[in-house]
Amino acid sequence: MNSAMAALKAISILSLFVAIGFATMKTGYVKKETGSYLAHIVTKLVMPIWIMSTLLSDNVTVEKILNRKSLFFTGVLTCLILLLIGLFVAKIFKI
């Protein structure tokens, strides 16, 4: 249960950051060129570092991941669903 709550907390924080980024782009507070640069930095640098630090801080091993297959696959499925939702929303707002 603690793992699920930690995952939910991380997803909530990430969703908040996405919403803030979306709002700043739509209001014009951040220019489109700057936004694409920030998105590139976040996806190529910040996210991998955040994932690695999370894994290393919890002493995650392959055995622990395999013991929690359902949680692991739920996370993968959630990411895919959120990606599809993001693509759909981007198409609606023509981002």
pLDDT per residue as tens digits for the range 26-58: 888 878 777 777 777 877 878 777 777 776 676
The pLDDT score that the predictor gives to residue 1 is 56
Q: How far apart are CA 14 and CA 61, in angstroms?
A: 24
Which pTM value belongs to this model?
0.44
The pLDDT score that the predictor gives to residue 83 is 92
Q: Are 3 and 11 in contact (CB under 8 A)?
A: no
| Three-point CA angle 65, 71, 73, nearest 5° | 85
Is residue 80 very low, low, confident or very high in pLDDT (cuts 50, 70, 90)? Answer: very high
Q: Are 43 and 26 in contact (CB under 8 A)?
A: no
24-27 — which CB contacts under 8 Å span 24+ positions?
25/95
